Amino acid sequence: MRVVSGIYKGRRFDVPHSFKARPTTDFAKENLFNVLGNLIDFDDEVHALDLFAGTGSISLELLSRGCSQVVSIEKDRDHYAFISKVKKELGNTAWLPFKTDVFKFISRCNEQFDLVFADPPYALPQLSSLPDLVFQHNLLKPNGLFILEHGKDYDFQQHPHFMQHRKYGAVNFSFFQVTTRATSNG
């Protein structure tokens, strides 16, 4: 796993081969953060939430770009242990990993974030409910962004908070926002 930009640019972390997680490809990750660079000022106090954190790859990119706080939610024991190991190695106190179920976390969370990112398993039965849950539980600050990584079989363009869709190879990102509804960029 490689960090593509920011203060940790070029740092590599060896992910165990036994992991089930499907990390976001470097190509998709780099393009995603190019888009985010136009939507978010990472120099501000940006609080981010990474749901289904997996290897922590997206959390690392957020920290590397200067997020003041990144909360990572991962249920798998081994993945959580890996994230905790990388956090300790970096010594970055802005990274707050939690070993818990995403749906339990969402239902109990009383914080709001500037950015919420979710990369659930593509076969997760509740995947299509994630945008509704994020908005029902008020996880976003005003003008906050929710980004959902998903497979090609999902189309969220009719969601009331849908903003845009981006596709990079087999990776799809749907963007949602509290206040605006824009057209799809493909």
| Run of H or E residues at 72 | strand 69-74
CA torsion through residues 84, 118, 141, 137, sign: negative
Would you give the distance in Å from CA 48 to the centre of its chain?
A: 8
User: Would you say 129 and 98 are in contact if contact means Cβ atoms under 8 Å apart?
Assistant: no
**Domain spans in the chain, listed from the N-terminal domain onward:** 45-177
pLDDT at 186 exceeding the cut of 60: no
pLDDT of residue 181: 45
Q: What are phi and psi of 90, to 5 degrees?
A: -80, -30
24-78 confidence digits (pLDDT tens): 778 899 999 999 999 998 888 999 999 999 999 999 999 999 999 999 999 999 9
106-146 confidence digits (pLDDT tens): 999 999 999 999 999 988 999 999 999 999 999 999 999 99
Q: Rounded distance, CA 68 to CA 171, Å?
A: 27
Q: What fold, for 45-177?
A: Rossmann fold (3.40.50)
